[in-house]
Structure 1
Amino acid sequence: MKIYPVETGNFKLDGGAMFGVVPKTIWQKTNPADSNNLIDIAARSLLIEDGDRLILIDTGMGDKQSDKFFGYYYRWGDYSIDTSLKELGFHRDDITDVFLTHLHFDHCGGAIQWNKDRTGYEPAFKNARFWTNENHWKWATEPNPREKASFLKENLIPMQESGQLTFINHTSENFLHNSPLGFDIRFVDGHTEKQMLPQFSYKGKTIAYVADLIPTVGHIPLPYVISYDTRPLITMTEKELFLNDAVENNYYLFFEHDAHNQLCTLKHTEKGVRLNQVYSFDEIFN
């Protein structure tokens, strides 16, 4: 098995929205805002090469939306999924599986693209299965008013129409060992219904892909919950369980949204679980 970070593109989001009830005077110490109160956000995927499978975890937001749409998110930097895959010696047609932690547009938008004559949409990974779970699919395709703007039909329906959509079975347990993709999955419900967080062993270490449970290093303290979460109190319970588990088992947290930190470890302190050390992926695994 080989694992690679894949940078799909950076953008910006409102810092207040990303930290909820936490005052700016506190959160800006770890996530400084610009003059418009916007903070740097990454869309960092993970690529797993395992035998004849090439599994991509999340895809970023893609590039098919309108200029008006992207005008809200202030994309910056030179990253794209195609250039990142090319640097690793791959092409999107090589991808066999696209695992989607959840179906908000910044996590799955890159899975679908315009067709050749821009009359409709098609899968951007023509040889891949798209993996989600039935609970979350129903949640996304019958959205509540709070999340409706994050679940875009043009990102979802083409997956189903292509025949490439596949569901991972979810039982009453919130931790699925040895999923069909070969890694463990933690199900969490605070951010959105049945978000899926992959977890796997690699070179003697455990990597936990934390997606929107802990978007950046600045979100490690328990009350630091993003205002986009549909059930913030559940998020706090899920975070507490995860953070203690991560310290006890020395997990390496892999950040999807931290534009400046790829990995970190945690430690217990008098104030609760806090950051121990940050790393680049190459520092630990190459």
Structure 2
Amino acid sequence: MKLYPIETGNFKLDGGAMFGVVPKTIWNKTNPADNNNLIDIAARCLLIEDGNRLILIDTGMGDKQSDKFFGYYSLWGSHTMDKSLAKYGFAREDITDVFFTHLHFDHSGGAVQWNKDKTGYEPAFKNAKFWSNEDHWKWATKPNPREKASFLSENILPMQESGQLHFINKADGDYGFASEMDFSIFYADGHTDKQMIPIISYNGKTICFMADLLPTAGHIPIPYVMGYDTRPLLTMPEKTKFLEEAANNNYYLFLEHDAHNEIIRVQQTEKGVRLKDVFKSEDIF
């Protein structure tokens, strides 16, 4: 097995929204804001090469939305999905499976693109199976008012219409694509219903793709919960359980949204779980 970080593009989000009730004077120390109160955000995906399978975890937000839409997110940097795949000798056509932690636009938008004449949408990975879970799919396709702006039908429905959508069967344990892999899923409901956090055994290490359970290293303290979370009082015990296990078992936490810290480990301290050390992907993979 080989792992590759796939940088799909950077953007910015409101720092207050990213840290909820935590005062700016505190979160600004770890995630400094610009003059518009925006902080740097990554859309860092993970590619797993395992035998004849090439599995992509999340897809970033893609490029099919309008200039007005992207104007809300202050895109920056030069990363793209295609350039990042090409860096490791791959192209979209090589992807066999796309696994979604959840279907918010910044995690699923890159899975669907305009067709050739821009009259409709088509899967951006034509040879891939798309993996979600049935409960989250129902949540995303019939969104509540709070999340409606994050679940965009053009990012989601074309997967089903193409016949490429598949659901993870929690009971069978092999997840349809990972029968030969040491792969498990932690389900979290605080951010959105049935978010899936992949846990991968790799060269004697445990790699956890943290998605929105831990957006950045600055979110490690338990009360540091995003304003975007639908059920923050669920997020806190979920974070507590996961981070304590990560500290006790020396897990490597792969951060999808931290533009400046790719992989971290955490440790137990008198103040609770805190940052232990930071790595670049090439140090681990």
Q: What is the TM-score of this pair, normalised by structure 1? A: 0.97
Distance in 2, matches of 1:65 and 1:200, equals 32
Q: Letter of the 1:180 partner, please give it.
A: G
**Structure 1 residues 197-230: Cα deviation after superposition (integer angstroms, max 9, x where no partner):** 1001111100011100000000000000000000
SS of 2:238's equivalent?
A: helix
- Separation of aligned partners in 2, 1:284 and 1:63: 30
Which stretch has the larger CA shift, 176-185 or 92-101?
176-185
1:138 counterpart residue number: 138
Question: Please, what is the CA RMSD of the aligned residues?
Answer: 0.9
Amino acid at match of 1:233: L
Question: Is residue 94 of structure 1 aligned with residue 126 of structure 2?
Answer: no
Q: Deviations over 1:211-270 (max 9, x none)?
A: 000000000000000000000000001000001100111100000000001100011111
Aligned residues, how many? 281
The 1-side partners of 2:283 and 2:174 are apart by 27
**How far apart are 1:177 and its partner, in Å?**
4.8
CA distance in 1, matches of 2:89, 2:170: 34
Secondary structure of residue in 1 paired with 2:89: coil
Q: Provide structure 2 residue ranges, at least 5 long, that are not aligned to the other structure.
A: none
Measured in 2, the distance between the counterparts of 1:154 and 1:85 equals: 23
Which amino acid letter does the alignment assign opposite residue 39 of structure 1? I
Where in structure 2 are the equivalents of 1:1-286 lying within 5 Å? Answer: 1-170=1-170, 177-182=173-178, 183-285=183-285
What's the secondary structure of 2:9's corresponding residue?
coil
SS, match of residue 48 in structure 1: strand
Separation of aligned partners in 2, 1:91 and 1:258: 25
What is the one-letter code of the residue matched to 1:179?
Y
CA distance in 2 between partners of 1:17 and 1:274 (Å) = 22
Give 1:284 shift. 2.3
Residue aligned with 1:42, SS: strand
**SS of corresponding position for 1:8:** strand
Does the 8 Å CA contact 1:2/1:50 hold for their aligned counterparts?
A: yes
Question: Which has the larger displacement, 90-99 or 162-171?
Answer: 162-171
Runs of 4 or more, structure 1, over 6 Å off, are: none
Secondary structure of residue in 2 paired with 1:201: strand
8 Å CA contact retained: 1:179, 1:185 = no
1:173-209 Cα shifts (integer Å, max 9, x gaps):
xxx8543332111110000000001001111100011
Do the aligned partners of 1:114 and 1:122 also contact (CA within 8 Å) in 2? yes
Deviation string for 1:21-53 (max 9, x for gaps)?
000000000000000000000000000000000
Can you list the C-alpha shifts for 1:72-128, whole angstroms capped at 9, x where unaligned?
000000000000001110000000000000000000000000000000000000000
Distance in structure 2 (CA, Å) of the matches to 1:38 and 1:19: 12
C-alpha deviation, 1:169, in angstroms: 1.9
- Could you list the per-position Cα deviations for residues 55-74 of structure 1 after superposition, in whole angstroms to 9, with x for gaps in the alignment? 00000000000000000000
SS in 2 for 1:259: coil
Which residue type is aligned with residue 217 of structure 1?
A: A
Whole-angstrom distance in 1 between the partners of 2:102 and 2:177: 16
Deviation at 1:11, TM superposition (A): 0.2
Deviation string 1:118-163 (CA, Å, 9 cap, x unpaired) is 0000000000000000000000000000000000000111001000
In the superposition, the TM-score normalised over structure 2's length comes to 0.97
